[in-house]
């Protein structure tokens, strides 16, 4: 491939892709502020404690998984 | 304490000042890549949000403008990856149409071939070939070297040449 190829492709792309206007016509701060206000869902500490406790129990007593599954 | 230090500490007023200062630049950069003003606005908001969330990772001795542009470029890249290649590139109403230069059908085939390029090559080709941005700036925004950008442009041109030949279009 030569510089000639690149020039031809460059011209073809410039003629084929519609030009875009790069000026921003509105202030985006309100939208950003709104997005910042939407807080991510927080998992409460007692849920984490429960998950930790369950995992520890299943590690030490794996047969409990079957009991647990039966009652689900 | 200067503006960037206050921003890094999470002061919302400092961030607002930075948003007002940089939103135009970020939008202009993103719209050059995604070529759709509506999507570019959404991505600019998303980029600004990510910038605020990543404020702890900003190094005060670094270049804020480059850091921001890199976040914006990654976001635009993710958008191109998720976009289906069939989606057309928006034509702005009233924008000058180069009908006298290329037939509509040929233009569509070139657009089609362009949209099929891998996202990384598409970004490099858009910024370097269509927008005429300096290789150094593109490399900085992509977090890579000038050589790597040139290689991506080279690969994009080679793929486009092959695809257009296959489609029976010789630019």
Q: What is the CATH number of the domain that holds B110?
A: 1.10.10.10
Best mean pLDDT range from B30-44, B80-94, B103-117: B30-44
Q: What's the total number of domains in chain A? A: 1
Which range of residues forms the domain containing residue B167?
98-171
Residues A21-65 have pLDDT tens digits of 999 999 999 999 999 886 555 677 888 899 999 899 989 998 888
- Spell out which residues of chain A touch residue B90, defining contact as CB-CB under 8 Å: 18
* Closest residue in chain A to residue B150, using alpha carbons only: A6
Which pLDDT belongs to residue B98? 53
Of B84, B118, B141, which closes a domain? B84
| Residue B35 CA, distance from chain mean position | 8
Shared domain check, B80 and B13: yes
HSE (side-chain half, CA atoms, 13 Å) at A31: 13
Average pLDDT over residues B119-138: 94
B60 band by pLDDT with thresholds 50, 70 and 90:
confident
Smallest Cβ–Cβ distance between A17 and the set B19, B23, B114 belongs to B114
Q: Is residue B64 part of a domain?
A: yes
Q: What's the total number of domains in chain B? A: 2
* Closest residue in chain A to residue B12, using alpha carbons only: A33
Kindly state the tokens that stand for A22: 């790069």
Whether B20 contacts A27, CB under 8 Å: yes
Residues within 8 A of A (CB atoms), B 55-84 only: none
Q: What is the Cα–Cα distance from A71 to B65, expressed in whole angstroms?
A: 57
Assess B122–A contact: CB distance below 8 Å, yes or no: no
Q: What is the Cα–Cα distance from A12 to A34, expressed in whole angstroms?
A: 42
Q: Is residue A54 part of a domain?
A: yes
């Amino acid at each position: 491939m030569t510089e000639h190829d690149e020039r031809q492709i460059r011209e073809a792309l410039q003629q084929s892709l519609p030009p875009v206007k790069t000026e921003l016509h509105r202030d985006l701060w309100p939208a950003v502020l709104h997005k910042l206000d939407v807080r991510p869902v927080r998992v409460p500490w007692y849920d984490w404690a429960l998950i930790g406790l369950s995992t520890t129990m299943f590690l030490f007593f794996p047969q409990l998984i079957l009991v647990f599954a039966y009652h689900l | 304490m200067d503006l960037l230090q206050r921003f890094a500490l999470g002061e919302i007023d400092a961030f607002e000042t930075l948003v007002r200062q940089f939103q135009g630049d970020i939008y202009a950069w993103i719209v050059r890549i995604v070529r759709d003003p509506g999507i570019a606005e959404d991505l600019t908001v998303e980029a600004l949000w990510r910038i605020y969330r990543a404020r702890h990772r900003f190094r005060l001795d670094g270049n804020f403008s480059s850091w921001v542009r890199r976040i914006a470029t990654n976001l635009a890249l993710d958008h191109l990856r998720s976009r289906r290649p069939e989606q057309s590139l928006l034509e702005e109403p009233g924008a000058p149409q180069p009908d006298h230069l290329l037939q509509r059908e040929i233009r569509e085939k070139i657009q089609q071939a362009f949209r099929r390029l891998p996202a990384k090559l598409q970004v490099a080709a858009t910024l370097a070939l269509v927008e005429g941005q300096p290789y150094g700036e593109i490399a900085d925004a992509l977090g890579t070297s000038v050589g790597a950008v040139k290689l991506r442009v080279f690969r994009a041109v080679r793929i486009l040449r092959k695809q257009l030949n296959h489609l029976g279009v010789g630019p």
